[in-house]
Homo-oligomer: A and B are copies of this chain.
């Protein structure tokens, strides 16, 4: 089955809003066994919107529209679906009651135009929106499925929950995806090593996805998933300590789990990443169980005053050095009362520092059983260097917690 995604809103074409919904919808459709062949953004314009629906229904069995279901004159998705699928809008009084009850519960007066959200194309089914007011729509037309969903991401996710199992059943395709998650090695080197041990059976697809210092090795099949287990095991064995997780794991989640299993904690002292490392470690709910705190030692003298880096180390080796990274890690550990400390220093750019070129980064981990230091020369601009440093530093802690030397 083929699928198409249409994100509705002039702000997407003007570039005021990034179309992150399309990526989320693409993942859901792929998991439901539907091959996404087109993903488009379209302005709040009834003719263009109707035209795009027509064009996509020519090649797609499932069309997902996202956005344009609100109550204002700019919200045209309901009208466009009605027009394109020859299913005139009908007012549903039961939906009107739902809308009135939602506003009553919010204790907010309901503007009269909200009631147009109770208009439903003839023959369509309304999908409850547990996170907002605009219901979604499910319409079958000429053997195809047209689904319209609200644009705000938390409303999109909540309203579409019942859609994916229905589409998966309809596609009749069971997609199995397994991923091996790797850090510390480039995409082509990972590919070379994977392909030296994997003899891909018919019907299993292999792809690589590199980004943010991580390479995802992905195996997908719509057939029997049984062969995947042996393939994953072979890749795990070949890549060994470079493998930090599988499937939907996140690196901060893996580190959190490793620490939580031991009842241990971590603290960080960071320079070029300016708080991003701490922010990553506090992204997920429950992070306070393993994260103590952080020192953002941006000014050089704070490395001494705040994190306890001896002035002799700074004078002799410089703020950007292995030695400073190591003492920062020790300082984070002791000053933050954590079992483990991570220290990070380097040059994010755009200018070189202490004679070190942009991208020079030193990371260290200190813990109950000693320490490890890693030097890296990272490519890219300031933003990329900061992000890669965060990932590399987390992976250094992961490897150290797993007893691996780097």
User: A183 an interface residue at 8 Å Cβ cutoff?
Assistant: no
Give chain A interface residues in 1-38, CB to chain B under 8 Å. Answer: 11-20, 22-28, 30, 36-38
Which B residue sits closest to A338, measured CB to CB? Answer: B299
Shortest Cβ distance from residue A276 to the other chain B in the assembled complex, whole angstroms: 5
User: A273 an interface residue at 8 Å Cβ cutoff?
Assistant: yes
Q: Which of A95-103, A230-238, A277-285 contacts B (4 or more CB under 8 A)?
A: A277-285
Interface centre among A23, A24, A25 (most CB of B within 10 A): A23
Q: Which of A117-125, A142-150, A161-169, A377-385 contacts B (4 or more CB under 8 A)?
A: A377-385
Q: Which of A289-297, A321-329, A367-375 contacts B (4 or more CB under 8 A)?
A: A289-297
Q: Are A37 and B48 in contact (CB under 8 A)?
A: yes
User: A246 an interface residue at 8 Å Cβ cutoff?
Assistant: no
Return the CB mask of A335-365 against B: 1 if under 8 Å, else 0. Answer: 1110000000000011100000000000000
A12-B18 contact given A275-B294, A295-B296, A306-B336, CB 8 Å threshold: no
Docked CA distance A321–B313 (Å): 40
In the complex, what residues of B have CB within 8 A of residue A23's CB?
12, 15-19
Interface centre among A13, A41, A43, A294 (most CB of B within 10 A): A13
Q: Are A302 and B292 in contact (CB under 8 A)?
A: yes
Docked CA distance A13–B25 (Å): 9
Which B residue sits closest to A4, measured CB to CB? Answer: B13
Shortest Cβ distance from residue A332 to the other chain B in the assembled complex, whole angstroms: 10
Return the CB mask of A85-108 against B: 1 if under 8 Å, else 0. Answer: 000000000000000000000000
Q: How many residues of A contact B (CB 8 A)?
A: 71
Docked CA distance A66–B351 (Å): 29
In the complex, what residues of B have CB within 8 A of residue A381's CB?
131, 154
Docked CA distance A17–B26 (Å): 10
* Contacts A/B (CB < 8 Å), 13 sampled: A12-B22, A13-B36, A14-B30, A15-B24, A17-B209, A18-B23, A39-B40, A285-B350, A295-B295, A295-B296, A301-B337, A302-B337, A306-B335
